[in-house]
């Protein structure tokens, strides 16, 4: 929305380019009566309407879901808000950083001996958007396949994050166990990020006895398996701090590329920690076209995921200018050029 249109990286609107590809853009003043009427006309032919106002705003603008469903009984209305449409926090403003903190994610994020650390990306918004898209498809399936009515989908920013926190709530309620801050080693012992001898970084996830044994053998530390503290997965988990202390100098014996070559040779579950410059140059990224460059303007973007074999997705449209598709979209409603010019002069579009 507006913040992304104004946010730039050294004068370049990278956020708008990344998040607004494959979209059409129209302008519409919902504070005007004519604008609200046009919204209802748009809703009449829509499959899904998504909004992320604070609860109550949609009701004030156009009568809310009840009025929209009167116009189109098959409409799926997806409502994304900080705290959901109900509950004591519903009317409070909510942003992703607040939702991440409220979900419990921020409490767990950061070093074990340090303070909680806010996520360095739009985590809550992205996860909530993924859940909302999945829910919209389920509701649309109910309309088209089951012959059911349209409905309202209520998605908060914090609940999707809370739902992917795993068994934390169950473990605490059942056994009083509270997971500590850190890299998640409380559920997997040979796991985490380690620095190599050339001051680069690798990640490892060798939670099973088989993967751990293969890793220890490859780095010449079979003796760790003879130590009762590290001989089984359960023992390693109980003594994970001691194991990490033993492994830190072992990783420092290798350069990153040397360790990755060893990992490839022995099929170790070790991988590089990449920054975006390395990702852009990586052979695997290139082979799978994870990143693409638009032909017309040279904008570099993440490609569409997931991959469909029969109906593959593509970046069809670059990020639009504000209102770029007014004539096209409103033309689909039957508005001609003269009427659009009048609405523009009145500030409606």
Q: What is the pLDDT along the chain (349 residues), one digit of tens a residue?
A: 677 777 788 888 999 999 999 999 999 999 999 999 999 999 999 999 999 999 999 999 999 999 999 999 999 999 999 999 999 999 999 999 999 999 999 999 999 899 999 999 999 999 999 999 999 999 999 999 999 999 999 999 999 999 998 888 888 889 888 888 887 656 678 999 999 999 999 999 998 999 999 999 999 999 999 999 999 999 999 999 999 999 999 999 999 999 999 999 999 999 999 999 999 999 999 999 999 999 888 899 999 999 999 999 999 999 999 999 999 999 999 999 999 999 999 999 9
CATH class of 46-182: alpha beta
Domain ranges of the chain: 46-182, 191-273
- DSSP-derived secondary structure for 229-251: TTSSHHHHHHTHHHHHHHHHHHH
81 touches 94 (CB < 8 A): yes
Question: Over the range 38-58, which residues count as b (16 or more CB within 10 Å of their CB) and which as e?
Answer: bbeebbeebebbbbbeebeeb
Longest dimension (CA), the chain: 84
CB 163 within 8 A of CB 88: no
Q: Is 125 a catalytic residue?
A: yes
- The answer to whether the CB of 197 falls within 8 A of the CB of 252 is yes
Cβ distance 134 to 153 under 8 Å?
Answer: no
Choose, from 29, 47, 125, 275, the residue flagged as catalytic.
125
Q: Does domain 191-273 bear CATH number 3.30.420.40?
A: no
pTM: 0.92
């Amino acid at each position: 929305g507006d913040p992304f249109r104004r946010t730039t990286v050294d004068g370049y609107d990278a956020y708008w380019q990344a998040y607004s590809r494959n979209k059409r853009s129209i302008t519409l003043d919902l504070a005007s009566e004519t604008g609200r009427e046009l919204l209802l006309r748009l809703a009449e032919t829509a499959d899904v309407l998504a909004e992320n106002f604070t609860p109550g705003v949609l009701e004030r603008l156009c009568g809310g879901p009840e009025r929209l469903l009167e116009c189109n009984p098959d409409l799926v209305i997806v409502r994304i808000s900080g705290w959901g449409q109900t509950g004591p926090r519903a009317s409070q403003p909510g942003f992703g950083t607040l939702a991440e903190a409220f979900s419990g994610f921020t409490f767990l994020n950061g070093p074990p001996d340090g303070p909680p650390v806010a996520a360095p990306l739009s985590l809550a918004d992205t996860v909530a958007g993924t859940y909302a898209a999945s829910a919209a498809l389920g509701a649309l399936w109910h309309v088209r396949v089951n012959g059911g009515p349209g409905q309202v989908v209520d998605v908060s920013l914090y609940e999707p994050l809370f739902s992917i926190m795993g068994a934390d709530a169950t473990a605490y309620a059942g056994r009083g166990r509270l997971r500590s801050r850190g890299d998640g080693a409380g559920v997997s012992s040979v796991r985490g990020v380690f620095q190599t001898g050339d001051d680069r970084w690798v990640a490892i996830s060798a939670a099973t006895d088989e993967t751990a044994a293969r890793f220890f053998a490859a780095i010449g530390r079979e003796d760790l398996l003879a130590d009762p503290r590290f001989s089984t997965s359960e023992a390693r988990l109980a003594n994970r701090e001691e194991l990490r202390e033993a492994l830190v100098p072992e990783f420092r014996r290798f350069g990153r590329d040397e360790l990755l070559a060893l990992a490839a040779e022995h099929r170790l579950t070790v991988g590089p920690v990449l920054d975006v410059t390395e990702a852009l140059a990586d052979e695997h990224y290139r082979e799978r076209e994870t990143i693409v460059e638009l032909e017309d303007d040279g904008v570099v973007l993440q490609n569409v995921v997931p991959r469909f074999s029969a109906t593959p997705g593509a970046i069809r449209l670059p990020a639009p200018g504000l209102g770029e598709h007014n004539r096209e979209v409103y033309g689909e409603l039957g508005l001609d050029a003269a009427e659009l010019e009048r609405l523009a002069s009145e500030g409606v579009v």
